[in-house]
Chains A and B, each alone.
Chain A
Amino acid sequence: MNIFEKILARASGKREVTPGDIVEANIDMAMIHDLTGPLTLDSFKKIGASKVWDPNRIVIIFDHLIPASTIRAATHQKNLREFAREQGIRSLYDIGQGGVCHQVFHERGYARPGELIVGADSHTCTYGALGAFATGIGSTEMAAVFTTGKMWFKVPKVIKICVRGKLRKYTTPKDLILKIIGDLGEGGAIYKGLEFTGQTFKEMSIDGRLTVCNMVVEAGAKAGIVPPDNKTITYVRARTRGTFKPVLSDEGARYENVLEYDVTGFQPLVACPPTVDNVRPASELQNVSIDQVFIGSCTNGRMEDLRLAASILKGRRINEGVRMIISPASQEIYKECLREGLLRIFTEAGAVVTNATCGPCLGGHMGLLAPGEVCISTSNRNFVGRMGSPQSKVYLANPATAAASGVTGHITDPNELRRR
Chain B
Amino acid sequence: MTITAKTLKLGNNINTDVIIPGRYLESIDPEELGRHALEGLDPTFPNKAKEGVILVAGKNFGCGSSREQAPIALKSAGVRCIIAESFARIFFRNAINIGLPALECEGISRTTSEGDTLSVDLANGIVANKTTGTVMRATPTPQFILKLIEEGGLIPHVRALVERS
Contacts and interface: CB of A to CB of B under 8 A. Distances in A.
B21 to A, nearest CB: 5
Contacts, number: 134
A187 B88 contact: yes
A383 B18 contact: yes
A393 interface: no
Contacts of A143: 154-155, 158
A314 B21 CA distance: 36
Given A48-B162, A140-B154, A187-B13, A363 B22 contact: yes
A165 interface: no
A39 B68 contact: yes
A151 B47 CA distance: 36
Interface residues of A, number: 49
A366 interface: no
A43 interface: yes
B17 A385 contact: yes
Given A48-B159, A138-B93, A222-B89, A383 B154 contact: no
Contacts of A49: 158, 162
A285 interface: no
B64 interface: yes
B23 interface: yes
B66 A39 contact: no
B26 A390 contact: no
A275 B97 contact: no
Contacts of A122: 64-66, 90
B28 A137 contact: no
Contacts of A120: 66
Nearest to B65: A122
A153 to B, nearest CB: 10
B15 interface: yes
A386 to B, nearest CB: 5
Contact of A147 (B13, B142, B162): B162
A384 B155 CA distance: 32
A397 to B, nearest CB: 19
Interface in B1-53: 12-13, 15, 17-18, 21-23, 25-28, 39-41
A22 B64 CA distance: 24
Interface in A26-79: 35-36, 38-39, 42-43, 46-49, 64-65, 70, 72-73, 76
A141 interface: yes
Contacts of B163: 48
Interface string A106-148: 0000000000000011101000000000001111110110011
Interface string A183-212: 000110011000000000000000000000
A136 B158 contact: no
Given A122-B90, A140-B98, A186-B13, A385 B159 contact: no
Interface string B92-105: 01100110000000
B68 A36 contact: yes
A39 B94 CA distance: 12
A364 interface: yes
Nearest to A68: B26
12 contacts: A39-B28, A46-B159, A122-B90, A137-B66, A138-B68, A140-B97, A140-B98, A141-B97, A144-B154, A147-B162, A148-B161, A384-B40
Interface of A: 22, 35-36, 38-39, 42-43, 46-49, 64-65, 70, 72-73, 76, 120-122, 124, 136-141, 143-144, 147-148, 152, 186-187, 190-191, 220, 222, 275, 362-364, 368, 381, 383-386, 390
Given A190-B88, A190-B89, A381-B65, 6 more contacts: A137-B93, A138-B66, A144-B97, A381-B17, A383-B18, A384-B40
Closest 3 CB pairs of A and B: A187-B60, A138-B94, A138-B68
